[in-house]
């Protein structure tokens, strides 16, 4: 029962803290696919092996003492953003190898916020200050187990941050929210842990899209009202800031006047009072000018509203306005169609790029497999030739054995002596003479038989 109660408390605590960053970050400002690693270090030494190949940035940290931080060669600094990266752990004897993503960094050795995961399905968040590391959201060894979300092979890390608040997602699952008031802007980069091997597939960064006044469209009455409203709000903000600055300067001027009345002979205070008085006069003139602009904008807004009502009622300029409105509408539709086509072409281009990247990876893999198969085939051919030669030797040996088995009583011939060779030659000559005499005798007998007839 006690364990169940503690488990329910844990679930309540985990669900009580939800996402805090509700901003939408859609403007892509950094999209590193690691097809070209000119922005990143390529290193070969006793401690590090960093190489970009096959669409990945492969990192191998040989040192077992500490990890290593890597920043791109760009000098861009960000404060509020959405950061995404994909990391894959390689085959290695170290079962606790780690990697992660770095934010709010000023350099590779001083400061930043690190989100790190390891192959034991744990994560941690650290604030870095030179050689010092401080856990932000946990205590003890700072690692937090998350086996239901983190995998041992491939993981995607997403961090959303706005106004010093951070939301962390791993593999599309919200993990935690944390804050840090010390670091609010900096570079982004990568991290490889000690005695670790990993490769990064991509690193992306998105910012919030903000529409400037100059980019606002005013094709409809509603859009015009929104534009005028924003202009009026901006002017009011400027007027408020100017009023505040005037009040501060008046306070300083009053203080200087009081001090000057006590010290009439202090030339420095008199000069300071005169400068403040001149600045107050300038600001009051600017304030009057802004107030006049504000009145003009309000009057312009009122005139546009009256003109709109007149058009809707059908005055003499109604047809012209309607035609112009239709022309603008048609042009806007054409622009929308072209924009849509451009967007579709960009999507197709991105899709083809990703497809080409996948095909290239598949081709590299197939080429490696083919090379391996060729090597295996060559080895098998050599073994086959060796077997053929061995087979021929065995066949010859078998034939000799069969021949010996078919003539078991025959003794191997001994080489003849010179006397035996001479005897054979004499016997051979005698045999030839005997045959020759017999032939001559037969011829004589045949000749006598023919005479008698």
Contact 199, 99 (CB under 8 A): no
Residue 423 neighbours by CB under 8 Å, 6+ apart: none
Please write the tens of the pLDDT for every residue from 418-437. 777 777 777 877 888 888 88
Distances (CA, A) of 25 to 22, 79, 202, 351: 10, 12, 18, 21
Please write the tens of the pLDDT for every residue from 360-369. 888 888 888 8
Quick one: pLDDT at residue 362? 85
Domain 14-207 has CATH 3.40.50.150: no
The angle at the Cα of 25, spanning 19 to 28, to the nearest 5 degrees, equals: 145
170 by Cβ neighbours in 10 Å (0-12 / 13-18 / 19+) ranks as buried
Quick one: pLDDT at residue 300? 75
SS3 state of residue 138: coil
Quick one: pLDDT at residue 278? 76
The residue count of the chain comes to 453
Quick one: pLDDT at residue 230? 66
CA–CA gap between residue 367 and residue 374 (Å, rounded): 10
Structural domain boundaries of the chain?
Answer: 14-207, 213-310
CA–CA gap between residue 275 and residue 269 (Å, rounded): 10
Contact 33, 350 (CB under 8 A): no
Distances (CA, A) of 113 to 25, 207, 311: 20, 18, 59
- Which single residue is written with the structure tokens 């005798």? 441
State CA 158 to chain mean position distance.
12
Rg (CA), the chain: 49
Q: Work out whether the CA dihedral 377, 379, 382, 388 comes out positive or negative.
A: negative
Residue 304 neighbours by CB under 8 Å, 6+ apart: 221, 224, 228
Contact 176, 17 (CB under 8 A): yes
Please write the tens of the pLDDT for every residue from 169-221. 999 999 999 998 888 889 999 999 999 999 999 999 999 876 555 555 556 66
Quick one: pLDDT at residue 15? 38
Ordered DSSP codes for 146-212: -TTT--SSEEEEEEEEETTEEEEEETTEEEEEEE-SS---BEEEEEE-TTEEEEEEEEEEEE-----
SS3 state of residue 374: helix
State CA 432 to chain mean position distance.
103
Distances (CA, A) of 452 to 14, 82, 140, 439, 448: 146, 140, 144, 21, 6
Lowest mean pLDDT among 69-78, 85-94, 144-153: 69-78
CA–CA gap between residue 339 and residue 262 (Å, rounded): 70
Lowest mean pLDDT among 47-51, 265-269, 349-353, 385-389: 265-269
Lowest mean pLDDT among 1-5, 21-25, 150-154, 448-452: 1-5
236 vs 377, higher pLDDT: 377
Contact 85, 157 (CB under 8 A): yes
> What value does the mean pLDDT take over residues 52-65?
92
SS3 state of residue 426: helix
Strand 165-170 and strand 154-162: the pairing is antiparallel
The angle at the Cα of 203, spanning 201 to 205, to the nearest 5 degrees, equals: 155
């Amino acid at each position: 029962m006690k364990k169940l109660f503690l488990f329910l408390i844990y679930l309540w605590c985990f669900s009580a803290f939800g996402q805090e960053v509700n901003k939408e970050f859609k403007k892509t400002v950094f999209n590193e696919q690691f097809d070209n690693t000119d922005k990143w270090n390529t290193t070969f030494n006793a401690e590090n092996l960093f190489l970009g190949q096959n669409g990945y940035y492969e990192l191998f940290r040989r040192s077992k003492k500490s990890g290593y931080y890597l920043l791109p060669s760009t000098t861009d600094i960000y404060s509020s953003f959405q950061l995404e990266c994909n990391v894959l752990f390689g085959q290695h004897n170290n079962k606790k190898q780690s990697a992660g993503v770095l934010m709010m960094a000023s350099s590779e050795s001083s400061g930043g916020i690190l989100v790190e995961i390891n192959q034991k399905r744990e994560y941690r968040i650290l604030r870095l200050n030179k050689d010092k590391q401080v856990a932000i959201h946990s205590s003890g060894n700072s690692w937090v187990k998350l086996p239901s979300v983190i995998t041992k092979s491939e993981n995607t890390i997403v961090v959303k941050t706005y106004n010093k608040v951070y939301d962390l997602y791993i593999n599309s699952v919200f993990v935690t929210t944390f804050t840090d008031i010390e670091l609010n802007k900096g570079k982004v980069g990568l991290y490889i842990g000690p005695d670790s091997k990993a490769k990064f597939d991509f690193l992306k960064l998105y910012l919030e899209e903000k529409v400037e006044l100059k980019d606002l469209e005013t094709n409809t009455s509603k859009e015009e009202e929104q534009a005028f409203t924003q202009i009026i709000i901006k002017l009011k903000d400027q007027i408020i800031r100017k009023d505040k600055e005037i009040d501060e300067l008046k306070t300083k001027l009053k203080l200087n006047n009081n001090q000057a009345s006590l010290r009439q002979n202090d030339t420095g205070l008199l000069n300071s009072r005169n400068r403040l008085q001149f600045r107050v006069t300038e600001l009051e003139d600017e304030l009057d000018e802004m107030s006049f602009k504000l009145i003009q904008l309000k009057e312009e807004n009122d005139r546009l509203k009256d003109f709109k009502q007149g058009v809707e009622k059908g005055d003499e300029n109604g047809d012209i306005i309607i035609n112009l409105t239709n022309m603008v509408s048609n042009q806007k539709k054409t622009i929308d169609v072209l924009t849509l086509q451009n967007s579709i072409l960009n999507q197709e281009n991105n899709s083809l790029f990703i497809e080409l990247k996948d095909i290239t990876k598949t081709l590299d893999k197939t080429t490696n497999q083919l090379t391996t198969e060729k090597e295996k085939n060559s080895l098998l051919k050599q073994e086959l030739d060796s077997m053929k030669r061995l087979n021929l030797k065995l066949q010859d040996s078998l034939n000799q054995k069969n021949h010996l088995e078919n003539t078991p009583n025959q003794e191997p011939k001994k080489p003849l002596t010179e006397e035996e060779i001479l005897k054979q030659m004499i016997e051979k000559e005698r045999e030839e003479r005997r045959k020759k005499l017999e032939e001559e005798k037969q011829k004589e007998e045949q000749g006598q038989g023919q005479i008698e007839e």
